[in-house]
Chains A and B, each alone.
Chain A
Amino acid sequence: MMAAWLHPALLLGLGALPLAVLQGRARQVWQLALPALVLLSVIGIESGTRVSLEMAGLELVPLRADGLSLVFAYIFALVLFIGNIFALKVDDGAQHVAAALYAAAALGAVFAGDLVTLYIFWEIMVVASVWLIWRRQNRTAYEAGFRYLIVHALGGMLLFAGVIAYYLTTGSLAFEPLQDGGMAFYLILIAFLINAAAPPLHAWLPDAYPEATVTGTVFLSAFTTKTAVYVLARGFPGTELLVWLGVGMTLYGVTYAFLVNDIRRLLAYHIISQVGYMVAGVGIGTQLAISGTAAHAFTHILYKALLLMGAGAVLQMTGRSKLTELGGLYRTMPVTFLLYMVGGLSISAFPLFSGFVSKTIIVEAAAVDGRGIIFLLMMLAGVGTFLSTTLKLPYFTFLGPDSGLRPPEAPLNMRVAMGIAALLCFAIGIMPGLLYAILPYAIDYNAYTASHLLKEMQLLLFTGLAFFLLVRFLGGKDKLSLDFDWFYRVAGKRLMLAVRDMISEANQDIRREFMRAFGRLEKAACELRLSGWPVRSWAIGSMALWTAVVLAILLVFGLGG
């Protein structure tokens, strides 16, 4: 058993620091050894382990390991290892430190047994991850990173306010399922949904992820949204709102994925779509659905990393990431193409690949729960996923019209990283029992029944038919697709400027009016003085009257005594 003091987040967080100074081979060795050690450390934690400490009168639980937290911890450590192989040749210590600290904070968040610990790791995640965007070192990335930071700072504030409200209401900080209703419930839920990228709180994701570094996007795709899925599963299982929100996410993601031209942005929208399945699973809330959610988070992290590594390799080797500028790359990048396709078949729930054994659990949970419309809408999102991720993107990038680009194959370390991820996608697909064994609840589910296989093959084949019939209309468009970030990038800016102008104008108007009134007063005073009216002679009777009035007022108001 792991020593109680050796929290995996602490091990990884401290282990990240040498990456800032190590160079060359030593840095590469440590980059692989560190996540391997963390993976071993996480594997060494037994379910039921709980470490608590008293601080400032509060009982904090920095380590609470159970079936739900461990499945997320395993995959976080594993994807850090794979991502570090992919980033092995990146000569930028800041990125390596940021990735490791980001992963450490994600581990800390899934092991947090109380809301204060969760909040602290939540904020570290934001501060560490933004560097993976900024280290792209161009203006677009810098601005996108700032927007990412501001949105998440808002989310962090909402979480903080929610934690305080929760403590004031319940007198507890334990991170357990929250009771419906109340301010704390909604504040914490909104904060979690921002990180889960649930529309309309999602725009930070497709805005920022495609602007991150080639390797940074791989880490970004793994931790933030999946930590959000974990905390939703922990805090809000069975919340009905999440079922519809989740299904809305699946369809929103696939629709926007069609619209965009940048291949990494297309994949970013599919993160929203796939996280939608998980959010819906949390909303359904049955043991089958929660286990399905955990299973899908596990497989999703692997295949999404694989897809983004494939798209990243294309960007790295060609310097381009727009569908309209790519095409025919299979000639010189066949390995990248085939490995990408493994990710594509996995995300589309193609039998024998990982998505088939995880996504179908959530769909099955919806069916078992008697939710026919949800079941159908999830199937429709599956159609969209196959169309854009597995058909459109690879067709117009690797096959299709030849762009004339002949880049060399991705470097060996990148191919190895993609190869490991692809192997795991395939292994989970053919041996789902390995994944099912680590889920939070034991499930009685077999993906490989004749009925499931037949349904899935019909879905994929006839989606393919529609694609090939309409392929000439489906190429990328060199256009930008507005999303909700328009409200703070354009409308919000315009509103701020309009308010600024209004205030400035009002300020000038008030000053002008004041000066005009002052001028009038001055003129009146001058005229009064020149008229001699104040120093004219007064009749004695009139003077006596006014003296009496003044004395009476003093008497009435008691000022005379």
Chain B
Amino acid sequence: MQSQATSPLAKLITAMIERARLLRGLMIALMVAAVAIDFIKPKAYSRFFWDGIPAFTAIYAFIGALVLIGLYKAVGYGLVYRRADYYQDSAKATEQDKQ
């Protein structure tokens, strides 16, 4: 990505974006660690049946994110999306009705 940043802060962010592979690696390492620790540490609660399942939250979050994305796409395209000027058009149509 071509840098047009001028302030040191913007340059720092640009540098981080340019090292996206490194950041991605770090994130994957963190994910692996978060799941691995869950396998070895004793469970803190036994309130619900899933409390003892290692990496339950990780799986739930990942699938939950996919479900939410699918849900919003379905609601959007199936039900609620209209042209950006929908209400202006409705108002015009109503004005014409009046006449």
Q: Which A residues are within 8 Å of any B CB, using their own CB?
A: 254-255, 258-259, 261, 330-332, 334-335, 337-338, 367-368, 370, 372, 375-376, 379-380, 383-384, 387, 399, 402, 406, 409, 449-451, 454-455, 457-468, 470, 473-474, 477-483, 489-490, 493-494, 497
Residues 69-99 of B at the A interface (beta carbon under 8 Å): 69, 71-73, 75-76, 79-87, 90, 94, 97-98
16 contacts between A and B (CB under 8 A): A255-B71, A258-B76, A334-B10, A380-B60, A387-B68, A409-B7, A450-B41, A462-B62, A463-B64, A466-B61, A470-B66, A477-B81, A479-B82, A480-B84, A480-B85, A482-B79
- State whether A380 and B64 are in contact (beta carbons under 8 Å apart), knowing that A459-B57, A461-B34, A493-B94 are contacts in the complex: yes
A479 touches B69 (CB 8 A): no
A454 touches B41 (CB 8 A): yes
Q: How far is the CB of B46 from chain A (nearest CB, A)?
A: 11
A462 touches B9 (CB 8 A): no
A489 touches B90 (CB 8 A): yes
Contacts of B14 in A (CB 8 A): 331
Contacts of A402 in B (CB 8 A): 1
**How far, in whole Å, are A379 and B31 apart by their CA atoms in the complex?**
18
A259 touches B80 (CB 8 A): yes
**How far, in whole Å, are A477 and B82 apart by their CA atoms in the complex?**
10
Q: Which among A449, A478, A489 has the highest number of chain B CB atoms within 10 Å? A: A489
- State whether A331 and B10 are in contact (beta carbons under 8 Å apart), knowing that A379-B57, A450-B41, A463-B65 are contacts in the complex: yes
Interface of B is mostly: helix
B34 touches A331 (CB 8 A): no
Closest residue to A489 on the B side, CB-wise?
B87
Contacts of B12 in A (CB 8 A): 334
- State whether A462 and B94 are in contact (beta carbons under 8 Å apart), knowing that A258-B69, A478-B84 are contacts in the complex: no
B38 touches A458 (CB 8 A): yes
Contacts of B66 in A (CB 8 A): 466, 470
B68 touches A332 (CB 8 A): no
The 5 closest A-B pairs by CB, nearest first: A466-B65, A451-B44, A258-B72, A458-B58, A334-B9
Contacts of B60 in A (CB 8 A): 376, 379-380, 459
Q: Which B residues are within 8 Å of any A CB, using their own CB?
A: 1, 3-7, 9-10, 12-14, 17, 24, 27, 30-31, 34-35, 37-38, 41, 44-45, 47-48, 55, 57-62, 64-69, 71-73, 75-76, 79-87, 90, 94, 97-98
Q: How far is the CB of A144 from chain B (nearest CB, A)?
A: 10
- State whether A330 and B13 are in contact (beta carbons under 8 Å apart), knowing that A367-B48, A480-B81, A481-B80 are contacts in the complex: yes
Closest residue to A330 on the B side, CB-wise?
B13
Contacts of B31 in A (CB 8 A): 461-462, 465
Closest residue to A375 on the B side, CB-wise?
B48
**How far, in whole Å, are A474 and B76 apart by their CA atoms in the complex?**
12
A258 in complex: contacting residue of B1, B45, B68, CB < 8 Å: B68
**How far, in whole Å, are A467 and B98 apart by their CA atoms in the complex?**
48
Q: How far is the CB of A342 from chain B (nearest CB, A)?
A: 14
A379 touches B64 (CB 8 A): yes
A458 touches B97 (CB 8 A): no
Q: How far is the CB of B41 from chain A (nearest CB, A)?
A: 7
B72 in complex: contacting residue of A259, A334, A409, CB < 8 Å: A259
**How far, in whole Å, are A461 and B33 apart by their CA atoms in the complex?**
11
Contacts of B41 in A (CB 8 A): 450, 454
A383 touches B48 (CB 8 A): no
**How far, in whole Å, are A56 and B89 apart by their CA atoms in the complex?**
52
B9 touches A449 (CB 8 A): no
Having A454-B34, A459-B61, one finds 5 other A-B pairs with CB under 8 Å, namely A330-B5, A375-B48, A376-B60, A455-B57, A497-B94
A482 touches B44 (CB 8 A): no
Q: How far is the CB of A445 from chain B (nearest CB, A)?
A: 14
Contacts of B87 in A (CB 8 A): 480, 489-490
Q: How far is the CB of B68 from chain A (nearest CB, A)?
A: 5
**How far, in whole Å, are A458 and B36 apart by their CA atoms in the complex?**
11
Q: How far is the CB of A484 from chain B (nearest CB, A)?
A: 11
Contacts of A489 in B (CB 8 A): 87, 90
- State whether A479 and B13 are in contact (beta carbons under 8 Å apart), knowing that A449-B44, A457-B30 are contacts in the complex: no
B9 in complex: contacting residue of A338, A380, A450, CB < 8 Å: A338
Q: Which among A255, A330, A454, A470 has the highest number of chain B CB atoms within 10 Å? A: A454
**How far, in whole Å, are A334 and B86 apart by their CA atoms in the complex?**
35
B69 touches A458 (CB 8 A): no
Contacts of B44 in A (CB 8 A): 449-451
